[in-house]
A and B are shown apart, each in its own frame.
Chain A
């Protein structure tokens, strides 16, 4: 039995890596899985026993869908002998000033000389040149009490009240190929420091303007605008990240919160159930305990809600009502509880309708899957007809306005705003540094 030591050598955005382990596997040249473990994203080494000698592949799938892998030559020793091979895992980087490296773990995406780190979660950016930096920017932040107009005459009025301040992130985080990077701070009424009990449980809605492609921009095409939901958290760095491939312009990259929820959702989004379960199962317990003892981390709780929703286990959870009530500004919790009710042998349709209505009142779900499920459940209720169906028809119409324009591939709920609409997101233009007045709450 030999032992290999593996560590993730990549550079990660600040705070992302602290407590996350992703599943790691060791594969023989015959494609047999001979060892498994967890790879700490913090860069801490992990030791794995390997039963065979010779070349093996050490491989991990990141939440972004990228593989990092390396071939390691495992010494063939006597039975019981434990020898160590240090494997340095590197991600893509610029030109090396060193001698050629021995073994590296590399992402599935080929390196680009000018690029920095791709987002772990989004399959992220590879900027080719500086000119692309200006193609998209966060241009507005939702201010409470104003309607989000998703099109024509449909309005989705938020009832939450928060003042949000975006300021430029420190320079050291901007080498990770960002379009723009902002650091989110939250303030209470009149700009005062927020009450600890409320500051972490309100999501944020951003307005993003950008050009879909350089060609369109050159042709004089108008910029498109999107409204993007962002999970709660403070402090939180928000970066607009160039999306990999031509499918979309940007993704949001967040750092500063607990990364496990994001990782869980990243795996769910790419259909990596085993990986999702490896991260999700411990978190289920954690959230249950958190809800019994007070208020759990809202981002982790929401991610766990999605994990249970997509695995059809919400009805078993027994705490979705607590989750919905614990975070009264997060729409997603109400969506979860609605689906938990729907999954019961004899659903309480009045409770279901109440929770769906509540979800709509709270605003856009943070995650796209939540919008999908909200829309599906509302459609189902309206299709059933009757008094409840009729009562929900306005809520369905509001939700349809968003669903029609939703980017169904995005992780965070992203809605293309109507070009003809004025906006939409009432907010101060993001002059940098931005003014930081405490806007009176309306």
Chain B
């Protein structure tokens, strides 16, 4: 069952967000690797205020078999429940101050802020906390005004700042006029007069929802955004070129992979939306390092013209001749995750299509995305003719795989 955040009063407990926050904490503790800026601290606030390490793994995220669990990183003897602070505004402000002070101590620091929960977008994005609405006359005072916070964080000397906002951005009509008239809403986590001056920074914001859209996730399990984000960090978002046998996820490739992964999954989860940023980004910064190994590639196989895809058996075949067959004939594009490498894509027909077999030239598929179009011949082809050579051009040799 999908869980959606409501947008105004009557907001209920979001199990998917609590699960997502714990899952992301697990991931940072167990998997985050950046030798230039290793993980040194995590401030975690939850509602309810209990963290259960390793209980909320995101489905489908590929962790290496030898990956150490989060509880081990915490020095625990097993995955025992840990009390944490409740996510009230007062507690968040205290935790934020500690986080900010540490981040602000060195320009080489990587500051990472992740929020999962209810959200609104009026003129600014608001992140709602546990005590949202506790004051009936100032219901949004206990919300975080993210845009205001982001602007003031320009004073932080950490040159790399990443923000992950796993929350809705709907525009509540019933509140609109109030806030047009009433002015600023929510609380900035940094106030006017904070010491320092604005500095250039690489500060991308990755959001789970586009403007006026909802974020969502399955009940009791991490949000779609948290799951997709971890998938990207585990390999989909790597940049070309290994560094000391490690693949690098940087701030730019992460953004691109997130957008592509959301585009890929939107066929099955229509709620997913792609966001566009207006962030301050003055460079590309390495964020995370991934051990060498198979890299996933989001692959979409389509046909031209499209309906023909439903009349044939479509497959992908790797360099060793291992064939992956589409489970069933469908006219919609075939979406599959392949591992980086060389493939041929083909289609077989035995029931009256314009050809009996069609196969592409070898194609190398690389992260994060590859689209493949099987072009149907206008005239029937003799059996087993490879799809190669455009009109007037010499055929190309089949590349060695």
Taking Cβ atoms with an 8 Å cutoff, the residues of A that contact B are 25, 27, 29, 31-33, 54-57, 59, 61, 65, 67, 69, 71, 73, 75, 85-86, 88, 92-104, 106-113, 151-152, 154, 245-248, 268-274, 310-313, 342-343, 345, 368-369, 372-373, 375-376, 379-380, 383-384, 396-397, 400-401, 403-409, 411
Contacts and interface: CB of A to CB of B under 8 A. Distances in A.
B345 to A, nearest CB: 11
Nearest to A110: B302
A408 B200 contact: no
Contacts of A342: 198
Contact of B396 (A93, A102, A272): A102
Contact of B378 (A85, A96, A102, A397): A96
Interface in B330-383: 333, 340-342, 358, 361-364, 366-367, 369-373, 375-378
B198, B255, B278 — which one has the most chain A CB atoms within 10 A of its CB? B278
A86 B197 CA distance: 53
A272 B252 contact: yes
B35 interface: no
B310 interface: no
B328 to A, nearest CB: 18
A246 B200 contact: no
Interface stretch (B12-20, B106-114, B223-231, B267-275): B267-275
29 contacts: A33-B240, A59-B366, A71-B399, A73-B361, A73-B396, A73-B399, A98-B378, A100-B358, A100-B375, A100-B387, A101-B390, A102-B395, A108-B260, A108-B369, A110-B300, A113-B304, A247-B213, A271-B251, A271-B281, A273-B284, A274-B284, A310-B281, A311-B200, A312-B201, A397-B183, A401-B180, A404-B123, A404-B180, A408-B276
A409 B148 CA distance: 18
Interface in B137-181: 147-148, 151, 154, 171, 176-177, 179-181
Contact of B255 (A246, A271, A345): A271
A154 B180 CA distance: 9
Nearest to B254: A271
B375 A369 contact: no
A383 B283 CA distance: 30
Given A31-B240, A154-B180, A246-B273, A408 B278 contact: yes
B279 interface: yes
A198 to B, nearest CB: 30
Interface stretch (B38-46, B47-55, B62-70, B204-212): B204-212
Contacts of A369: 278
Contacts of A112: 306
B277 A57 contact: no
B393 interface: yes
Contacts of B260: 108
A31 B362 CA distance: 16
Given A99-B377, A107-B371, A271 B277 contact: yes
Given A273-B252, A274-B252, 20 more contacts: A29-B364, A67-B371, A73-B362, A73-B396, A98-B391, A100-B387, A100-B388, A102-B388, A108-B260, A110-B371, A112-B306, A151-B177, A273-B283, A273-B284, A311-B283, A312-B198, A375-B123, A404-B122, A404-B179, A405-B176
Contacts of A29: 341-342, 364
Top 7 nearest A-B pairs (CB, nearest first) are A312-B200, A73-B399, A100-B387, A110-B302, A271-B255, A403-B123, A101-B390
B259 interface: yes
A379 B148 contact: yes
A306 to B, nearest CB: 9
Contacts of B361: 71, 73, 102-103
Nearest to B378: A97
A407 B122 contact: no
A368 B279 CA distance: 12
A193 to B, nearest CB: 38
Contacts of A100: 358, 375, 377, 387-390
Contacts of A247: 210-211, 213, 273-274
A187 B211 CA distance: 36
Contacts of A407: 211-212
A251 to B, nearest CB: 11
Contact of B366 (A27, A270, A380): A27
B131 interface: no
A268 B197 CA distance: 24
A245 B263 CA distance: 8
Contact of A152 (B177, B197, B277, B375): B177
B308 to A, nearest CB: 9
A376 B124 CA distance: 9
B370 A376 contact: no
B396 A311 contact: no
Contacts of A71: 342, 361-364, 399
A43 to B, nearest CB: 15
A33 B255 CA distance: 19
B179 to A, nearest CB: 7
A27 B361 CA distance: 17
A59 B256 CA distance: 14
A54 B378 contact: no
Contact of A384 (B151, B192, B372, B387): B192
A404 to B, nearest CB: 5
Nearest to B401: A55
B397 interface: yes
A313 B200 CA distance: 7
A99 B389 contact: yes
B91 interface: no
B176 A404 contact: yes
Contact of A270 (B251, B259, B270): B259
Interface string B314-342: 00000000000000000001000000111
Contacts of B130: none
B378 A65 contact: no
Contacts of B256: 61, 65, 270-272
A405 B372 CA distance: 39
B375 A101 contact: yes
B295 interface: yes
A111 B255 contact: no
A106 B280 contact: no
Nearest to B262: A245
B101 interface: no
A96 B154 CA distance: 52
B42 to A, nearest CB: 25
Contacts of B396: 73, 85, 102-103
Contact of B281 (A33, A99, A104, A273): A273
Contacts of A108: 260, 263, 300, 369, 371
Contacts of A245: 263, 266, 273-274
Contacts of A376: 147-148, 151
A235 to B, nearest CB: 28
A405 B370 CA distance: 36
Contact of B302 (A31, A67, A111, A383): A111
B3 interface: no
A380 B295 CA distance: 45
B277 A269 contact: yes
